[in-house]
């Protein structure tokens, strides 16, 4: 999955910025229009202006991970420049992205909008160069594209086994790995094996789940460089902590191409998007263990609606809610569009 999505010059997200959008393979909140970024900017400003969230003086950081072509960052900074000029004067924007190609896309987008941004290749570099982030770390549809491990239940052996990828001479296929194999998913194998016996006894043979140690490790590392402020992720995910879902006996790993979804994730690597639902319960637990306090964990539609309501009550201004902006909001929140499967997790560390 990592190679299919991120391999330099070959991976899906390395090919062209046009894979996202109405004419691409899938739509995101960013491609609906600038309203999504403006709502995020309004919420970010609220956090940054709330006493005790970040230091009262000094530079602030707004950091995006997984910025693709930079449009979301441009929309956020554009709103802040118009409506919070004193705040934006304190903000140093950063993008966390290891890909030189994607950095070029981002540099072009943000340059056209008149913004200067700093880049870091990984959390360690970001932490070193900033001295620790004071501000907002955010990502949109990032965690769902972290490489997952697939675990399958064997009724005959009464145990979980990890699935690997093999080549059968003509195509890639899934294969159960040897029991003695040790991977990053091994702790999850043990955790799932400790589920109640009465539950495991009714699982069908081959029942699949995904686990994503890489996402948990990344959240932990980002929490480590957050000195004060908020870390927020918006992504596909489930609203509760249920481990096994009968409605997904084959797991949630899917491929997207030309706005069509497929379970054939091993075909044409690099030519289709790969995504799996995010275990926000696991991510939230990692953040809590790192000392972060959960501000929000809820459906995106509810979170955005609350921000919308705050804009109506705000005395500091927000763009007029004309017909195009209302249509964008409906697309972002309606269950038949982008409002059904997306969740929000926001966790904070208070300024000291």
Instruction: State the CATH number of the domain containing residue 303.
Output: 3.40.50.12710
Q: 203, 224, 247: which is the final residue of a domain?
A: 203
Closest CA to 137 of 213, 232, 214: 232
Same domain, 69 and 102: yes
* pLDDT at residue 25, as a whole number: 61
Same domain, 105 and 15: yes
For the chain, how many structural domains are there in total?
A: 2
Count of C-beta atoms within a 10 Å radius of residue 104: 13
Q: Where are the alpha helices (DSSP H) in the chain?
A: 2-6, 12-15, 29-32, 35-49, 71-83, 85-88, 100-112, 123-130, 186-193, 197-200, 213-225, 280-289, 300-313, 323-333
Same domain, 48 and 191: no
Does this model's pTM top 0.75? My answer is yes
Same domain, 114 and 187: no
Same domain, 172 and 105: no
Same domain, 319 and 343: yes
In whole angstroms, what is the distance from residue 150 CA to residue 74 CA? 36
Q: What is the span of the domain harbouring residue 255? A: 2-147+212-349
Same domain, 161 and 219: no
Which letter, b or e, does each residue of 329-351 get, where b requires 16 or more Cβ atoms within 10 Å of its Cβ?
Answer: bebbbeeeebbebbbbbbbbbee
Count of C-beta atoms within a 10 Å radius of residue 110: 21
How far CA 116 is from CA of 1, 48, 82, 313, in Å, comes to 32, 20, 16, 32
Same domain, 121 and 190: no
Same domain, 302 and 221: yes
Bridge-based pairing of strands 226-236 and 133-140 is parallel
* pLDDT at residue 315, as a whole number: 73
Burial class of 311 by CB neighbour count within 10 A (0 to 12, 13 to 18, 19+): middle
Beta-bridge partner residues of 208: 152, 250
H-helix or E-strand containing 346? strand 342-349
Same domain, 165 and 223: no
Closest CA to 42 of 349, 310, 321: 310
Mean pLDDT by 10 residues, the chain (352 residues): 94 81 71 94 96 94 95 97 95 97 96 97 97 98 96 95 95 93 94 94 95 97 98 93 91 91 93 95 97 96 94 79 92 82 95 88
Same domain, 176 and 316: no
H-helix or E-strand containing 60? strand 60-65
Same domain, 187 and 223: no
* pLDDT at residue 17, as a whole number: 72
* pLDDT at residue 19, as a whole number: 66
């Amino acid at each position: 999955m990592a190679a299919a999505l991120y391999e330099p010059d070959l991976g899906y997200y390395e090919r062209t910025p046009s894979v996202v959008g109405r004419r691409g393979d899938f739509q995101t909140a960013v491609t609906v229009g600038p309203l999504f970024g403006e709502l995020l900017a309004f919420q970010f400003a609220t956090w940054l202006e709330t006493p005790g969230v970040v230091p009262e003086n000094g530079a602030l950081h707004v950091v995006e991970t997984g910025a693709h072509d930079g449009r979301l960052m441009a929309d956020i900074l554009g709103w802040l420049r118009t409506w919070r000029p004193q705040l934006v004067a304190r903000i140093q924007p950063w993008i966390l992205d290891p890909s030189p190609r994607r950095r070029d896309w981002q540099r072009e987008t943000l340059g056209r909008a008149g913004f200067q941004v700093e880049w870091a290749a990984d959390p360690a570099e970001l932490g070193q160069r900033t001295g620790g982030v004071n501000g907002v770390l955010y990502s949109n549809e990032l965690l769902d594209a972290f490489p997952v491990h697939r675990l399958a239940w064997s009724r005959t052996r009464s145990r979980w086994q990890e699935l690997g990828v093999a080549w059968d001479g003509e195509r890639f296929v899934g294969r159960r790995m040897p029991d003695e194999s040790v991977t990053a998913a091994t702790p999850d194998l043990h955790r799932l094996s400790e589920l109640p016996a009465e539950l495991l006894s009714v699982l069908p043979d081959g029942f699949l789940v995904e686990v994503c140690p890489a996402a948990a490790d990344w959240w932990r590392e980002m929490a480590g460089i957050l000195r004060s402020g908020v870390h927020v992720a918006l992504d596909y995910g489930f609203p509760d902590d249920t481990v096994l879902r009968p409605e997904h006996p084959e797991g949630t790993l899917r491929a997207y191409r030309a706005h069509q979804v497929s379970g054939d994730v091993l075909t044409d690597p690099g030519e289709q998007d790969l995504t799996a639902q995010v275990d926000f319960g696991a991510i939230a637990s990692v953040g809590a263990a790192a000392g972060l306090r959960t501000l929000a964990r809820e459906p995106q539609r509810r979170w955005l609606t609350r921000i919308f309501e705050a804009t109506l009550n705000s005395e500091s201004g927000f763009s007029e809610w004309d017909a195009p902006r209302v249509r964008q909001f409906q697309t972002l929140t309606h269950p038949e569009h982008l409002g059904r499967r997306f969740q929000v997790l926001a966790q904070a560390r208070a300024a000291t």
